[in-house]
Amino acid sequence: MAKDAKEVKKPEGFNKDIMIFGGFFLGIIFLWLLSGGMNQETARSGVFIKAPSPVDSGATYGGKPLLAKDTEKESLSIPKTFDFSFLKNWAIGVKTKPLNTSDSRTDDPLPIIGPLTKDLVIDGIAGARESDPNSEYLRIAPNPTPTHLGPWNVSGLILKSEVTGKQETIPEATLLPILGEVPELIKVAIGPKEAVILTTGESPIGTSFKTNMCSGYLGQFQDYTPLLRNECPSAIEEIDAAGLGEDTSCVEFSKTMPRCRAFIGTVPKKLSTECKAFITRDLTYNKCVTKHKDNADFYKDEWRIFLGRNTEMWKNKNEIIKIIDRNGDVVDAVTY
Q: List Cα–Cα distances, 154 to 67, 168, 210, in angstroms.
A: 65, 13, 13
pLDDT average per 10 residues of sequence, the chain (336 residues): 50 65 73 65 53 54 49 39 37 35 46 64 92 97 84 94 96 97 96 95 97 98 96 96 94 95 93 95 97 97 97 96 92 92
Beta strands in 143-250 (DSSP E): 152-153, 158-161, 167-169, 173-174, 185-186, 189-190, 195-199, 209-212
pTM, 2 dp:
0.66
Q: How many residues does the chain have?
A: 336
- What is the distance between the alpha carbons of residues 50 and 45, in angstroms, rounded to a whole number? 15
Q: Supply the pLDDT for residue 148.
A: 78
Residue 283: its pLDDT value, please?
Answer: 96
Pairing label, strands 299-306, 195-199: parallel
328 and 221 Cβ atoms separated by less than 8 Å? no
